[in-house]
Amino acid sequence: MFGLIGKFAAKTGTRNELAAILLEGISGMPGCLSYVVAADPKEENTLWITEVWDSQQSHEASLSLPSVQEAIKRGRPLIEGMEMVATTRPVGGHGLTGA
């Protein structure tokens, strides 16, 4: 498995809109085992995105899906900054198949 943890800083007042856009683009992503968008309770403009994929190749392929491209296009103007916090190798967890 392949995992990513990212931190997005939304422009002031746009965090909820950005979260909704990120969540719209996730259906039908082959190989995606988990995709969680979470609002930071202490930083009003911060979103955490935690992803688990069956492989790095599936993640890379997802970036060319029309739904993902559309989410990127709509979300980009709302993003103040992005940080890839960690790349992980998930070993299992509740809800993960293939662990």
Helix (H, G, I), strand (E, B) or coil at 66: helix
22 lies in some domain: yes
Q: 0.85 cut: is pTM over it?
A: yes
Residue 93 lies in a domain: no
Query: What are 21-52's pLDDT values in tens digits?
Result: 999 867 778 999 999 999 999 999 999 999 99
Helical packing angle, 66-75 and 15-24, nearest 10°: 170
Report the number of distinct structural domains present in the chain.
1
**CA torsion sign, 16 to 22 to 27 to 30?**
negative
The answer to whether 99 touches 93, Cβ cutoff 8 Å, is yes
In a domain, 13, yes or no: yes
pLDDT given at position 99? 47
Establish if 47 belongs to a structural domain: yes
In a domain, 33, yes or no: yes
| Residue 1: both structure tokens together | 């498995």
Domain holding 28, by residue range, is 2-88
Structure token digits, residue 19 = 């979260």
Asked if residue 60 is part of any domain, the answer here is yes
What CATH number corresponds to the domain at position 10? 3.30.70.100
